[in-house]
Amino acid sequence: MRKKVFFFLLLPALQLSAQGLKDAYEGLFTVGVSVNLRNVTDSAQAALICRNYNSVTAENAMKPASTEREEGRFDWRGADRVANFCRQHGIKMRGHCLMWHNQIGRWMYEDEEGNPLPKEEFFRRMRNHIHAVVSRYKDVVYCWDVVNEAITDDRRADNPYRQTPMYRIAGEEFIANAFRFAHEADSTALLFYNDYNECDPVRSRRIYEMVLRLKADGVPIDGIGMQGHYNLRRPQPEELDRAIRLYRQLVHHIHITELDVRASSQQGGDLQFSKDGTTASDSLDERLAAQYGRIFTVLRRHSDVIDNVTFWNLSDRDSWLGAKNYPLPFDVNYQPKRAYDVILQKKDVTQ
């Protein structure tokens, strides 16, 4: 009898520890993670993914440079490994990404002499690429980041767009057509525009105006991806809240697509950043937990329009920011930090 009582007393604690992030957020939004090939091969890391996440993004394996480095020569090995892991475990994927100025072969927009392609030829190549990738993963990918980071970093520029070779060939039509081609290939996938520093008032206004214009032209955009490369101080809750309120006027789906919180004062998805970070300490751990707590408090408030929150990388060891930025809820040994508990317990943090 005494044994039975002891077991029942223990049960809630056992249930709590068996519960991962995906369970804690059931009914609010799905919780995702971006993965590299090691993450899906190592059995302990794979188990961590399955326990905590019900959405997976390939960190690099589905990008144009990985799947079609040269025109027509597809290499599906990396993308298939991630997709098969997800198929095997019944996890749906966020597709990332179809058109981006980084990690894309020059063949997409240049001829062999390095001259920009005529617009129609560029569109033909882009359409072939998008159709091939989207069709192949239709069964497992539920949404795509169709165009990534098309807005300029220059907040003072008259032209809101990043001056990429693709933009120079076709202007805004490049963005519109990427969405049209993706929709042709899979009319059921949700299609996203995805960008960073998306809480900045100038950039968020530009993103808003672009999506507004494209939607008015009938371009099939379903959602906005807020990348979420944040730091310990920014965005403040009001800044995050303001950006979500702006975007939700336009779209029914907002995803936080690449969430991490770095220890330095920088933010955003630019590759020019410091990997030096700082030294691990208790107070850093607490500040990280507090910032994640503030962020998730705002996200939960908007869970009617936010349907996915994805962390960018599985652990500090995997982070593109380097381990010394301590940006994730799991440390270099894949152990949960205080931030993990704050997120899991859905504690409202406003200070």
Judge whether 258 counts as a catalytic residue.
yes
- Residue pair 339/345 in contact (Cβ under 8 Å)? The answer is no
Give the residue, chosen from 84, 88, 102, 236, that forms a contact with ligand G3I under the rule CB under 6 A. Answer: 102
Residues in binding contact with ligand G3I, number by CB under 6 A: 10
User: Which residues are bridge partners to 31 per DSSP?
Assistant: 309
**Minimum CB distance to ligand G3I, residue 14 (Å):** 35
What the block records as the tokens of 223 is 């959602």
**Minimum CB distance to ligand G3I, residue 326 (Å):** 16
User: Could you please report the per-residue DSSP string of 197-250?
Assistant: STTSHHHHHHHHHHHHHHHHTT----EEEE--EEESS-S-HHHHHHHHHHHHTT
Judge whether 149 counts as a catalytic residue.
yes
**Minimum CB distance to ligand G3I, residue 61 (Å):** 9
The residue among 82 and 342 lying less far from ligand G3I, judged by its C-beta, is 82
Q: Is 32 among the residues that bind ligand G3I (CB under 6 A)?
A: no
Residue whose entry in the numeric block shows the structure tokens 């005494």:
2
Closest CB to ligand G3I belongs to which residue? 269
What the block records as the tokens of 234 is 């920014």
- Residue pair 273/322 in contact (Cβ under 8 Å)? The answer is no
Q: Is 269 among the residues that bind ligand G3I (CB under 6 A)?
A: yes
Q: Is 103 among the residues that bind ligand G3I (CB under 6 A)?
A: yes
**Minimum CB distance to ligand G3I, residue 251 (Å):** 19
Largest CA distance in the chain: 83
The residue among 20 and 268 lying less far from ligand G3I, judged by its C-beta, is 268
Active-site hit among 59, 68, 198, 258: 258
Give the residue, chosen from 247, 296, 311, 320, that forms a contact with ligand G3I under the rule CB under 6 A. Answer: 320
Contacts with 138 (C-beta within 8 Å, 6 or more apart), sequence order? 185, 186, 189
Q: Is 271 among the residues that bind ligand G3I (CB under 6 A)?
A: yes
The residue among 123 and 312 lying less far from ligand G3I, judged by its C-beta, is 312
Site for ligand G3I in 42-71 (CB under 6 A): 59-60
**Minimum CB distance to ligand G3I, residue 186 (Å):** 21
User: Whole-angstrom Cα distance, residue 328 to residue 339?
Assistant: 8
Q: Is 78 among the residues that bind ligand G3I (CB under 6 A)?
A: no
Q: Other C-beta atoms within 10 Å of 52: how many?
A: 24
**Minimum CB distance to ligand G3I, residue 223 (Å):** 16
**Minimum CB distance to ligand G3I, residue 195 (Å):** 8
Residue type, 90: G
231 dihedral zone (left: phi>0; alpha: psi -120 to 50; beta): beta
- Residue pair 29/309 in contact (Cβ under 8 Å)? The answer is yes
Residue whose entry in the numeric block shows the structure tokens 């900045």:
200
The residue among 148 and 291 lying less far from ligand G3I, judged by its C-beta, is 148
The residue among 78 and 293 lying less far from ligand G3I, judged by its C-beta, is 78
Residue whose entry in the numeric block shows the structure tokens 């101080």:
233
User: Which residues are bridge partners to 310 per DSSP?
Assistant: 32
Active-site hit among 149, 184, 238, 286: 149
Q: Give SS3 for 183.
A: helix
Fill in the DSSP letter of residue 302: T
Site string for ligand G3I, 131-160 (x = CB under 6 A): -----------------x------------
Site string for ligand G3I, 225-244 (x = CB under 6 A): --x-----------------
Main-chain phi, psi angles of 287, to 5 degrees: -65, -35
Annotated catalytic residues are 149, 258
Contact residues: ligand G3I, CB under 6 A: 59-60, 102-103, 148, 227, 258, 269, 271, 320
